[in-house]
Structure 1
Amino acid sequence: MASSFNLVKAEELQLRPAISTTTRRYEKSLWVDAYHTTTAPGLRLRSSPKSKWLSFVHPEGQLYHHMKCSHFSVVTEENVLNNETDTLLSSYLTMIENRILECGILLPQACELFVELRFDESPQTSTCAYYFVDHYSRCLFWLDPTSSELLDMGMVVSDSHLDTALERLYWVHVEFFPMHVCAQMTPLILDNLISVICHGMTDRMTSRTSTFPYTEGKCDQLLRALSLRRGEPLDGYTLCFVARLWGAINNQRFMTYYGQENAQLDRLHAPMPEHIVDRPWMRVLANLTLWGIPNHHYSKLHDLFVHDQVFVDHWQTFIAARVSEWRGLLVWAFSVLIASILISMLPHASLSSAMAPILAACSSILSGSILLLKHHGFEDATASFAAHFLRAAKSSDWGFLPLSVVYSMPKAMYLWSMGLLIAQFVFWVSRVVGVFWATGGAGFLALMGYGILYFTSLEDDSPESMATILRSHWQTFQGAEAVEVLTV
């Protein structure tokens, strides 16, 4: 693509501030240009063309390039071996150096510039996304005033809170470009990381509402891996995963207002008042139609959004439970579908009475299948993905009500299909043995269903209620050990 922009005038060059998390690193085309070739006789000597750029390979396999300039060093993932790309990059680097001299900006000694070319087809223009990093203060900076909102960095409450966000972005940069800078890094970053994770593991073990993002099991696994490299010189591979963990911890610190006056010390305490969007009449209607299931999902999603956006295990547990539920409902709804079709084929049966349960069962299967496809892999999602998903899913006018209704569809439509299947069966029985026996059977089934629902949703609001007395007798029948377990 660079060939379309080989002749670029100086006034057409445009700089675009960027951050380390918004680069095109994972958005590039996966196509490669493979070909056959012929090797010459004898040992093949590896020779590389002389270039001002040094090439490095990231532990994940991504090739990147590094170059030292007069006032700073440069890293890029662009193909600098392409002459046109190299020429365009040189033009932008000259522009950046001139801007620094014109504005009289003093750059720190351990300063590094990231550049990335971006092209627009219509009109054919190019821009250069860039940011500077300071390895001493561990932060990002730019040449012009830059809005945290435009860079999607999140809202801040103080300058020190902004520093936490910038340090997180710095560690993301180091994670992406670790091979050339590992020798400059102090081993203390590994030792300090081990101390932080040890504290986080103990905090999670001794508190149910700890704000540390990793469970005690994950912490133990991480400490085992980190301990293998303790006391050893930092290489690019070690620095890559150390920087990734520091980035995750700083992200958690940013979201819990670490070091601020009103830091979030308890996962269940929201650090700022949440604007709750509620439509009571619509929520009541949705719950009446869908068997009260949306209320359950609504409260769960709201708690995740307010308290648990940074806690990966809570998000993963919620999604894993939903996926398991949808998979089971597909089987049961398919069974109802088959049963309804079979009943419609019996003598004296009415085909029209089968349409409602068949439609409800198909709705359950369809909604469950779509949700399973859309949420494939969500169980292993990161905290940042979970937070972004919840922010995108929350409607400004309806809150989490639309998503709650969608999540309720497979189970609610399955319950409707079951109820309509029973009605279909009762209707068939009334045509075979008479209305009296069909009515009696329907009453028995309704009474049994009500009893099951009643005694499996007991509450202790009224200690002298009949339900409490029955439960007390049941606990006595089970024995003292069972009573003790139930009262804990």
Structure 2
Amino acid sequence: MQKCPKSSSPTGPSPTITKGTAGSEANSRIALKLVPIAPESFQRYTRHRTINKCDTDYVVPPLCRSFPRVSLPHWNAERHPEGGLYFVYTEHRIFTDAYLYDAAPFAQITSAIAQLLARAEVQQLLNTDSSHIDIVLDLMTESSDNDECGYYFVDHSPRIIFWLDAFSMSALHHWNQVPGIASPTHAKMCLEIEYCKIIRVHCEYFPTAMPISPQIVGELHDAIMYGIGDAMSSLKSTQQFPIERLFRMLTVTKEMVCEPVPETARFRMNPGSVAVFARFMQDFAMSRFYHFHGEKTARLNNDKSVYGSIPRRSHIFAWLLSPLLFNMPLRYLRTLQVVNTDRLIYYASWQRLITTLRTEWLDLVLYGTLILNTNVGFLSVPASGLSTAGKVASYASVSFGVTSIFLGILLLRTYQVESPDVPDVTQAAR
């Protein structure tokens, strides 16, 4: 098959890197600072790449039926199901979505790899079992004067991420959401979130990186099954998803097919399925972390705080308005405080609260309508039949009735459009 002309290759050193290349040409020419980062800090969605908006043309040669990419030595270009482009280093399991077809990122990534492979601990890791070790590189800025490259390592055997340098856990978003973490096992659970974010981010960003097996898919299936049973049998379940969504997740999981790779002990799954699998796994890992699974203070009911009885501040505004509004503001405040235990909002509790509020708002509209009709009847009485004070009271009552109807309809319409069945309802308290 005749192939069309390829675009020019990047001008820069070929990333032909072997073990122990501490004095490589790339490393001596570009000295990058290697910075430990978390998968959540990966910049795929925050970096902004643009092209010139102008008219272009491309002439297709006669009989051209193949449009191959530029071939980069030792690199494979992969396309994410979402559309993004990333690169896989063939000699080791190294991943990056730096645009290696440009000269500057090409040279910088080459230098970063040389610096990593020159370190003795990396050599020991790769010599021990490199088939389960992934390395991810992320240039801090995409410019010719960039001097930093973020990195993290993934070990798929214990399902954890690690670094060559010290890493502060306070840099992780989820760590800062849960005060009081004291045990190494709970800290490891936070890293498991990052691993599942790796499953979601690293393996969702780089689907070819995830070593899938029927056992791992079975773990997800079992977690969903338990979630369904727990949500069905308890009103205080700590499951973050409604039963309907768990059933849909179970259906999708059953459709995920692990196919054995011929002549190996490994399995493969299509990249799109891997990305979805990654998202589901991270959701359950986050739940385990937030609820202190396996710890002394594990949260078993969604209305119990792991921090004990914490004095709750009542707003002075609610105290002042409560006598005028039949004590409803304080009642709503206490209900919201229970639903928002430890700043976690559960779908089932949120749905029950919204359903109750909608019923009360509907009654508010009904009562307001009745009061409005009654007052219109009073005001239709001839002037001699009502005193001035009575008229003033009727007009005030009409005003309050119209306001009640307006507010009730507004709230009903708002929460009819903004249904509580949204994917990020558990993050509403952030």
Q: Same fold (TM over 0.5)?
A: yes
CA displacement at 1:249 relative to structure 2: 0.8
The aligned counterpart of 1:471 is none
> Is the Cα–Cα contact under 8 Å of residues 31 and 111 in structure 2 kept in the other structure?
no
Give the SS at the match of 1:56: strand
C-alpha contact (below 8 Å) 1:212/1:311 kept by paired residues: yes
Are 1:166 and 2:187 an aligned pair? no
Is contact 2:292-2:298 (8 Å) kept?
yes
The aligned runs of 1:431-450 (5 Å cut-off) are: none
Please say if residues 209 and 267 of structure 1, whose CA atoms lie closer than 8 Å, have aligned partners that are also in contact: yes
Q: 1:93 to 1:358 in 2, by over 3 A?
A: farther
- Residue 481 of structure 1 corresponds to none
Pair 1:102–1:221, CA change in 2 (3 A): closer
Matched, 1:114 2:139: no
Paired with 1:20 and 1:268, the residues of 2 have a C-alpha distance of: 31
Distance 1:8 1:374 in 2: 58
Within-5 A mapping of 1:55-94: 55-69=77-91, 72-94=92-114
TM-score, normalized by length of structure 2?
0.68
Alignment of 1:350-365 (within 5 A): none
- Deviation (angstroms), 1:246: 1.3
Higher helix share: 1
Match of 2:38 in 1: 19
Q: 2:416 & 2:48 partners in 1: Cα distance?
A: 24
CA contact (8 A) 2:139 2:148 kept: yes
Map 1:65-464 → 2, pairs under 5 A: 65-69=87-91, 72-98=92-118, 100-101=119-120, 106=125, 109=130, 110-119=132-141, 126-154=147-175, 155=178, 156-175=181-200, 176-182=204-210, 184-229=211-256, 232=259, 234-235=268-269, 236-273=271-308, 275-279=310-314, 281-288=316-323, 292-306=327-341, 309=344, 311-315=346-350, 318=353, 379-382=420-423, 385-386=424-425, 388-390=427-429, 392=430
TM-score by length of 1: 0.61
In 2, Cα distance between the equivalents of 1:125 and 1:374? 48
CA distance in 1, matches of 2:98, 2:363: 48
**1:49 aligned onto 2:77:** no
Taking a change above 3 Å as real, the CA distance of residues 205 and 374 of structure 1, as seen in their structure-2 partners, is closer
What secondary structure does 1:379 align onto?
Answer: coil
Alignment check: 8 A CA contact 2:134 2:209 kept: no
Residues 374-413 of structure 1, C-alpha deviation per residue, up to 9 Å, x if partnerless?
998673544xx545541x4xxxxxxxxxxxxxxxxxxxxx
Q: How many residues align?
A: 374
Whether contact under 8 Å (1:326, 1:372) holds in the other structure is no
Could you say which residue in structure 1 is the equivalent of 2:19? none
**8 Å Cα contact 2:137-2:151 kept in structure 1:** yes
Inter-partner Cα distance in structure 2 for 1:80 and 1:323: 55
Q: Relative to 1, partners in 2 of residues 1:268 and 1:103: Cα closer, same or farther, differing over 3 Å?
A: same
- Aligned partners of 2:160, 2:349: CA distance in 1, in Å? 30
1: distance between equivalents of 2:207 and 2:122? 32
- Return 5+ residue gaps in structure 2 as ranges: 1-25, 261-267, 372-382
Residues 255 and 310, structure 1, Cα contact 8 Å, conserved in 2: no
Q: Distance in 2 between matches of 1:378 and 1:23?
A: 32
Q: In structure 2, what is the Cα distance between the partners aligned to 1:12 and 1:354?
A: 79
Residue identity opposite 2:199 in structure 1: V
2:286 is paired with a residue whose SS is helix
Displacement of 1:363 after TM fit?
A: 12
Q: Residues 48 and 59 (structure 1 numbering): CA distance in 2 closer, same or farther, change over 3 Å?
A: closer
Cα gap change, 1:289 to 1:263, in 2 (>3 Å): same
Identity %: 20
- 2:312 and 2:134 map into 1 onto residues whose CA distance is 45
1:295-326: per-residue Cα shift (whole Å, max 9, x none)? 24322332232168263444466568779999
After superposition, what is the alpha-carbon deviation per residue over 1:341-379, rounded to whole angstroms, capped at 9, x for unaligned?
A: xxxxxxx999xx999998998999799989999998673
Contact preservation (8 Å) 1:65, 1:75: yes
Contact 1:55 1:66 in 2 (8 A): yes
If asked which structure has higher relative contact order (CA below 8 Å, sep 6+), I would say: 2
Is the 2:30–2:108 contact (alpha carbons within 8 Å) kept by the matching residues of 1?
A: no
Amino acid at match of 2:196: W
